[in-house]
Every structure is written in C-alpha cells, then in structure tokens.
Amino acid sequence: MRYSALSLLRGALNGHRDWPQAWRNPSLKGSYDAVIVGGGGHGLATAYYLAKQHGMRNIAVLEKGWLGGGNTGRNTAVSRSNYFYPESTRFFDHSLRLYEGLGRELNFNIMLSQQGIIGLAASRHELETYRRWVTAMQLQPVDAELLTRDQVAARVPLLNMSRRARYPVYGAFMQKRGAISRHDAVAWGYARAADALGVDIIQHCEVTGIDVAGGAVCGLRTTQGTVRSDKVALAVAGHSSELAAMAGLRLPIESQALQAMVTEPVKPCFDHIVISPAVHCYLSQSDRGEFVIGGGTDLYPSYGQRGSLRGTEAVLGAVVELYPALSRMRLMRQWAGIVDISPDTSPIIGKTPVTGLYLSTGWGTGGYKAIPAGGETLAWTMAEDRPHELIEPFGLDRFVSGRLIDEGAASGVAH
Ligand SMILES: Cc1cc2nc3c(=O)[nH]c(=O)nc-3n(C[C@H](O)[C@H](O)[C@H](O)COP(=O)(O)OP(=O)(O)OC[C@H]3O[C@@H](n4cnc5c(N)ncnc54)[C@H](O)[C@@H]3O)c2cc1C
C-alpha cells in the first residue's frame, strides 16, 4: 500500500479511521504445520522465510503480549558484523547484507542508516587486539579498518581526546557498514509480509505447556486453547529457559536485564555509532536527535524489566567522562529488556534433542542484528530438519563437544 502526502494528512486529521489493517487478527486454529513461539523479530522472520522460501503456509506465530514488545522493541538497533571468529563473521555479515536489502524485500522503510561503528581503544593492548581482529575480518573478507587517534578525533569531535582523560583514546576499530535502523519497522515489516503470505499471527496468546510424546513434540497448550503441530520453534529470548523446560530441556542460558536510555533531542552533532568496550558504553544519535545510550548487562540473573540503578549510573558515568559536552543534557527515558546469555555469548540456534523442536536463543545483547539471517537459517533448518551450514557451529551440541565460540572474550562486546 502506498500513501500520497494528501492521504497521509487526511489520515492524521481523521484519526486514521480508514486505514487498512497491516495484518489480520485471526483466531487460533487446532493444528498447524509449524508453530513459532515468540512474536519478536526472530519469530516473525522465521515465519516469513518459512512461507516465502519453503512454500509453507499453514504457520502460526504465538505471542504472549504484542508484536515486537520484547527485546525487538527495546534495543538500541545497532547492526554490524565485526566479530572475531570466522563462523560469527560469516553469519553476521550475511545478516547485515540481508539488512541492506530488507526495506526493498519487505516493502517497508526500516530507516537503515549505515553511519559506521567505531570501537575505541583505551590502551595500547586494546589497540593491538583490534589489529588482530581487523586482520581476521579482512581475511573473510569483511570490511574493517583501524583508525589513528587523529582520525578518531576528526570523526567524533565530541570525544574527550585529552591525554590525561580518564579513558584515553589510543585509536579505534571501524566498520563503515555498521548501521542503526528502526526496530519497530523491522518487526512490523516482517509481520505484514508474513501475514500477506497467510501466516496466522496470534497476539495475547501465551504458551503455557509443550506436549512431547515418544521424544517428539506434538503440540502446545496456550491461553487461547491447545494446538497440534509436529514442528515448533522457540524464539522467546529471555524466556527461553522457561519454555524449554516445558519440553523437558535444560538450557545453558542465563537471563539478565540489559538497559538502554535516551536523552532529550538536540541538533545533529554525532554521526557514528561509537562504543567503548573498555568502559562498556556506546551511543548513537537517532533521527529524532536523541542520544541513544547503552552498556553492558546488569550482570545478575533477573526477570525485572527495569534494570538496576547501579547499571544506569555506571553507563552514564562513562558517557560523561568520554563526552563532557553531554553532561548537561537531560535523560528522558530508561528501560531494560531480559536478554538470554549463553556461556560463550554466542547464539544457540537449530535443532534440539526433542524431535521437531527448534531453538533460537542465546542472542544476548546482540540479536537484533541477527534477525534476518537468524530467521532465514532457522526456517531452512525447520523445513529440511537439518542445520543450515551458517548456523551449524551454533548448535546446542557445542556444549557437549566443547567447541565453544567465545566471542565475549575475543571481540569484547556483543551489541
Ligand atoms: C536494551 C537492549 C539493547 C540492545 N541493543 C542491541 C543492539 O543494539 N543490537 C543488537 O543486535 N541487539 C541488541 N539487543 C538484543 C536484541 O534486542 C535481541 O537479541 C533480539 O531483539 C532478540 O529478538 P527475539 O525475537 O529473539 O526476542 P524478543 O524480541 O524478545 O521476542 C520474544 C518474544 O517472545 C514472547 N514470549 C515470551 N514467552 C512467551 C510465551 N510463553 N508464549 C508466547 N510468547 C512468549 C515475548 O513476549 C517476546 O515478544 C539489545 C537488547 C536490549 C534489551
């Protein structure tokens, strides 16, 4: 559907009364060929690619709240593919490429802005680590480069570049294709496109039980009734442990709060995403002029969606040290989401020991950027019932084989 300026104005004045719904509001059927639990980006993208690329039409997405109301609508919307290990770089770069064409694929403006991500080095040691990281990425080949102190100062004039700063800048890592986009648009775009292909998106439908018989999944119990299906995917982020336990699985996942916050809006003055892994804070300026600020998790298990004051203080303390000019700005909002952290901070995606039960979890602090590739590869895995090659290294079985992919240690941060 395309709108003229006049029809937009008319819609605004009459309360959008005549606008068609972007997706249907269907009732839950008794059985589906595939059911995806979780109406966040990963669940919706999986449903879309199952319908689009594998011709499945009898699919449901079950969401206990509203679409994109979980981490997909709570994140700081950074996409990048600068990871250390080849498995990670390959997967996340595929995702970034899908993002680069996503607006066209979904006919939905996701407002992708490839302003580049800069990772600050606060010591000579960190700069040396970046040198190896850049080389590892260039070998893939994926774009990555080192910046000198002067180049950083020219790109980020608000930074405190004093040699006596508490967090001195020795240089930086940069990926120019690093981007921010509109997270709601990603959820809505996938939802609208999946619905148009016949996928039933059922909101306010909480899954309360998973039925397993003879080692295979056969159905789900929900607050809107029971449903039969022999293919079920769990894409429920911070609630993965709870849901997997319903099928008798114990996951190596810890759920923690991750916070973000925004300042009042100001004129455009910051045109990169800048992260300081040493002090664990990052920021970008939104198209509305607000600074969008994030940091590390609250570091203890919790299902509280507010986050701790200690976490907020730690991030803001670092922002003020790094960008003294921001110290007089007012903070408008702060919130948190419950993220799903695996022991090696890499995702867990693919098959499980229960036949027909698939998982998309462990995205932790960095799964927004993975939505297109996570959805596409999980859909392939569900349709073929074997792991897609891009996600084969990220299976649950790595916690048995010991072939961990410790990006937390190798590339430091995962946003
Ligand atoms: C503050 C913050 C900042 C972040 N910043 C970034 C970033 O800049 N870049 C990046 O790549 N990633 C970032 N992330 C991580 C990213 O948001 C997540 O990894 C990603 O959104 C996960 O998507 P998802 O679809 O798996 O989960 P979600 O979007 O959380 O969707 C899961 C859905 O499952 C539903 N659900 C749960 N239990 C049930 C049930 N029993 N029945 C039915 N439905 C259920 C929930 O209501 C939810 O809507 C950030 C996260 C947070 C919290």
The pLDDT tens digits of the residues spanning 167-182 come to: 999 999 999 999 999 9
Q: Is 368 in the pocket of ligand 1 (CB under 6 A)?
A: yes
Q: Is 82 in the pocket of ligand 1 (CB under 6 A)?
A: no
Q: Work out the pLDDT band at 15, boundaries 50, 70, 90.
A: confident
Residue 404 in this model has a pLDDT that exceeds 90: yes
Residue 413 in this model has a pLDDT that exceeds 80: no
The tokens describing 367, both together, are 């799964």
Q: Which of 391, 62, 358 is nearest to 216 (CA)?
A: 358
Q: Is 275 in the pocket of ligand 1 (CB under 6 A)?
A: no
Q: What is the pLDDT of residue 14?
A: 85
Residue 2 in this model has a pLDDT that exceeds 80: no
Distance 43 CA to ligand 1 centre (A): 10
Q: Whose CA is nearest to atom 32 of ligand 1?
A: 236
- Nearest-atom number in ligand 1 for the CA of 238 is 30
Residue 67 in this model has a pLDDT that exceeds 90: yes
Q: What is the pLDDT of residue 256?
A: 96
Task: Give 29-49 pLDDT, tens digit per residue.
Answer: 999 999 999 999 999 999 999
Q: Helix 371-384 to helix 183-196 angle, to the nearest 10 degrees?
A: 30
Distance 128 CA to ligand 1 centre (A): 33
Percent of the chain with pLDDT over 90: 91
Give the domain 117-176+255-341 fold.
D-Amino Acid Oxidase; Chain A, domain 2 (3.30.9)
- Nearest-atom number in ligand 1 for the CA of 45 is 25
Task: Give 319-376 pLDDT, tens digit per residue.
Answer: 999 999 999 999 999 999 999 999 999 999 999 999 999 999 999 999 999 999 999 9
Distance 364 CA to ligand 1 centre (A): 9
Q: Is 339 in the pocket of ligand 1 (CB under 6 A)?
A: yes
Top-level CATH class of 26-78+183-252+344-410? alpha beta
Q: What is the pLDDT of residue 64?
A: 98
pTM above 0.95, yes or no: yes
Q: Whose CA is nearest to atom 4 of ligand 1?
A: 75
Contact between residue 363 and residue 70 where contact means Cβ atoms under 8 Å apart: no
Q: What is the pLDDT of residue 193?
A: 98
Distance 15 CA to ligand 1 centre (A): 30
Q: Work out the pLDDT band at 17, boundaries 50, 70, 90.
A: confident
Q: Is 307 in the pocket of ligand 1 (CB under 6 A)?
A: no
Q: How far is CA 379 from the centre of its chain?
A: 17
Compute the radius of gyration of the chain from its Cα atoms.
21
Q: Is 372 in the pocket of ligand 1 (CB under 6 A)?
A: no
Comma-separated ranges of CATH 3.50.50.60 domains in the chain: 26-78+183-252+344-410
The alpha helices in 140-295, defined as continuous H runs, are 149-155, 183-196, 240-246
Residue 196 in this model has a pLDDT that exceeds 70: yes
Q: Is 182 in the pocket of ligand 1 (CB under 6 A)?
A: no
Contact between residue 39 and residue 207 where contact means Cβ atoms under 8 Å apart: no
Q: Is 395 exposed, middle or buried (0-12, 13-18, 19+ CB in 10 A)?
A: buried
Q: What is the pLDDT of residue 19?
A: 79
Contact between residue 350 and residue 379 where contact means Cβ atoms under 8 Å apart: no
DSSP H/E element including 94 = helix 86-100
Question: Looking at residues 125-154, what average pLDDT do you find?
Answer: 96
Q: Whose CA is nearest to atom 2 of ligand 1?
A: 75
Task: Give 257-298 pLDDT, tens digit per residue.
Answer: 999 999 999 999 999 999 999 888 999 999 999 999 999 999
Contact between residue 284 and residue 268 where contact means Cβ atoms under 8 Å apart: no
Q: What is the pLDDT of residue 4?
A: 81
Distance 36 CA to ligand 1 centre (A): 14
Q: Is 227 in the pocket of ligand 1 (CB under 6 A)?
A: no
- Nearest-atom number in ligand 1 for the CA of 235 is 26
CA dist 324 → 165, 166, 167, 296, 319 (Å): 10, 11, 12, 21, 8
CA dist 118 → 15, 32, 270, 271 (Å): 42, 45, 12, 11
Q: Whose CA is nearest to atom 48 of ligand 1?
A: 70
Average of per-residue pLDDT values in the chain: 95
Q: Work out the pLDDT band at 1, boundaries 50, 70, 90.
A: low
CA dist 60 → 170, 217, 238 (Å): 51, 16, 21
Distance 345 CA to ligand 1 centre (A): 15
Distance 362 CA to ligand 1 centre (A): 10
Q: Taken in order 301, 363, 87, 138, is the CA torsion positive or negative?
A: negative
Q: Is 80 in the pocket of ligand 1 (CB under 6 A)?
A: no
CA dist 272 → 144, 283, 285, 342, 356 (Å): 15, 8, 8, 29, 43
Q: What is the pLDDT of residue 312?
A: 94
Q: What is the pLDDT of residue 414?
A: 52
Query: CA neighbours within 13 Å on the CB side: how many for 349?
Result: 35
Task: Give 83-136 pLDDT, tens digit per residue.
Answer: 999 999 999 999 999 999 999 999 999 999 999 999 999 999 999 999 999 999
The phi and psi torsions of 243 (rounded to 5 degrees) equal -70, -40
Measure the N-to-C terminal CA separation of the chain; round to a whole number of Å.
Answer: 33
The tokens describing 120, both together, are 């600050």
Question: Looking at residues 368-385, what average pLDDT do you find?
Answer: 98
Distance 241 CA to ligand 1 centre (A): 14
Residue found by looking up tokens 């925004």 in the block: 262
Q: What is the pLDDT of residue 305?
A: 86
Q: What is the pLDDT of residue 415?
A: 53
